[in-house]
Amino acid sequence: MMKYKIPVKEIMSTKPVSTKPDADSLSAARLMAKHDISFLPVVEDNILIGLITEGDILKRVFIKNKNPKKVKIKDIMTKKPISVSPGDDVSTVAGLMNSKKITKMPVTEGGKLLGCLTEKDILKIEPSIIDVLFEKLKLREPSLKITYSRGE
């Protein structure tokens, strides 16, 4: 996989919505709905300790017919989730996300939650990545008669 040399910090969201481990699952579901997101980092003292998704709440609470007001996030969250650093290369992170079949990734430094990266964030920059790679190819192989149009 070719490295784009674009750090995660350039495309990640920097104001992640998060929840606390003692929050109830109904509150977390409502928070996700309010912000139109499908996962929440779980933080304690701004340190990432877990992750909760809509699927987690659906499978571990509603399908099991548990009271969502009584089920705490700490009891159903994924503990010690995979996270990436703000300086990591986007192409490396995209490969990791693909291999782990995950679409959202918390971004941390020293355990502290700084932001989140999603597949959508990565897809938003794909046209610019193609432009950068095309320019690099032209510089590397100036004798090639290559034309490229994004169709805009």
C-alpha to C-alpha distance for 131 and 137, rounded to whole angstroms: 10
The pTM assigned to this predicted structure is 0.77
Residue 131's pLDDT is what? 56
pLDDT tens string 56-87: 999 999 999 999 999 999 999 999 899 999 99
3-state SS class at 54:
helix
Q: Is 90 helix (H, G, I), strand (E, B) or coil?
A: helix
> Which candidate, 46, 53, 47, places its Cα nearest to that of 73?
53
Q: What's the pLDDT band for 147 if we cut at 50, 70, 90?
A: low
pLDDT band at 120 (very low <50, low <70, confident <90, very high): confident
Q: Which tokens belong to 82?
A: 């995979």
Q: Which of 8-17, 28-37, 88-97, 132-141 has the highest mean pLDDT?
A: 28-37
Mean pLDDT in the chain?
85
CATH class of 8-140: alpha beta
**In degrees, to the nearest 5, what angle opens at C-alpha 58 toward C-alphas 42 and 67?**
85
